[in-house]
Amino acid sequence: MSLNLEDLRRDYLMGGLDHADLDDDPIAQFERWLQQAIDLQLKDPTAMTVATVDASGQPSQRIVLLKKVDHGFVFYTNYGSRKAQELAVNPKVSLHFPWHDIERQVKVCGVAEKISAAESAKYFLSRPKESQLAAWASHQSHPVSTRQLLMQQVARMKEKFANGEMPAPDFWGGFRVVPTEIEFWQGGANRLHDRFQYTRTDSGWARTRLAP
């Protein structure tokens, strides 16, 4: 089977982007765009691709959910997972938010650092019980022979914590990606997209328009 993909294309006509449309602070600008995506009820507006690189230079990507925005971008994972192990070797990371329905995307480059155990525990206790159980039961990114074995481990954890509050596992927690670069992309007609890159400097953020 051979797929003909060359003619699959569409034009982007939902609007442009100029310096005057942007906040001087890229975090504030991101929050503005994210709120618009939420208000428009886009599916999974907080979904982002997290790209890491292992010790050999091999990149790897996966989709996780953004859980907090402050001076960085916070997500949670098992600290034994592939992404966490790669971040332990190389903390440089790239995030990508694809908001296709409004012809926008945001790319973040920065450095990931573990958040405090207290902050991780606070978020963990806010999760649904089933999600808490899953965090305890799953050795994320490690081989598992059958789904039945995974569900048996869930059942064991459910029994273990049946009579009390479930604490946050010490092998699970958050990362905060502190940005050094943030790019905002707005689709444009005839592939003449609008791109603005914020770069962190000693005195704040510098903003530059990039060719599409």
Query: Which tens digits make up the pLDDT trace of 21-34?
Result: 999 999 999 999 99
Neighbouring residues of 26: CB distance < 8 A, sequence distance ≥ 6:
179, 182, 184, 198, 205, 207
Question: Contact 123/76 with Cβ under 8 angstroms?
Answer: yes
Residues belonging to the active site: 191
Higher local confidence (pLDDT), 144 or 179:
179
Question: Contact 199/205 with Cβ under 8 angstroms?
Answer: yes
11 pLDDT higher than 80: no
173 pLDDT higher than 90: yes
Higher local confidence (pLDDT), 8 or 177:
177
> Is 64 assigned to a binding site?
yes
14 pLDDT higher than 90: no
Q: What is the pLDDT of residues 50-59, one digit of tens each?
A: 999 999 999 9
For residues 66 and 70, what is the distance between their CA atoms, to the nearest angstrom? 11
Q: What is the pLDDT of residues 107-127, one digit of tens each?
A: 999 999 999 999 999 999 999
Higher local confidence (pLDDT), 156 or 179:
179
pTM score of the predicted model: 0.91
The closest of 13, 16, 8 to 196, measured between CA atoms, is 16
CATH 1.10.340.30 fits 16-127+171-209, yes or no: no
For 201, list phi and psi in degrees, rounded to 5.
-125, 175
158 pLDDT higher than 90: no
> Is 77 assigned to a binding site?
yes
> Is 140 assigned to a binding site?
yes
Question: What's the half-sphere exposure (Cβ side, CA atoms, 13 Å) at 4?
Answer: 1
Band of the pLDDT at 157, cuts 50, 70, 90?
confident
Tokens coding 84: 């966490």
> Is 79 assigned to a binding site?
no
The mean pLDDT of 93-113, rounded to a whole number, is: 97
Domain ranges of the chain: 16-127+171-209
In terms of Cβ atoms closer than 10 Å to its own Cβ (0-12, 13-18, 19+), residue 204 is exposed
Neighbouring residues of 44: CB distance < 8 A, sequence distance ≥ 6:
65
Higher local confidence (pLDDT), 140 or 43:
43
Hey, how many other C-beta atoms are within 10 angstroms of the C-beta on 49?
A: 14
Higher local confidence (pLDDT), 133 or 44:
44
Note the pLDDT of residue 6: 79
Hey, how many other C-beta atoms are within 10 angstroms of the C-beta on 157?
A: 19
> Is 10 assigned to a binding site?
yes
Bridging pattern class, strands 68-69 and 194-201:
unpaired
42 pLDDT higher than 80: yes
Side chain identity, residue 87 = L
Note the pLDDT of residue 93: 98
Secondary structure (3-state) at 204: strand
Note the pLDDT of residue 167: 92
Percentage of residues in the chain with pLDDT exceeding 90?
78
For residues 131 and 137, what is the distance between their CA atoms, to the nearest angstrom? 10
Question: Contact 96/202 with Cβ under 8 angstroms?
Answer: no
Neighbouring residues of 209: CB distance < 8 A, sequence distance ≥ 6:
19, 194, 195, 196
> Is 61 assigned to a binding site?
no
Band of the pLDDT at 81, cuts 50, 70, 90?
very high
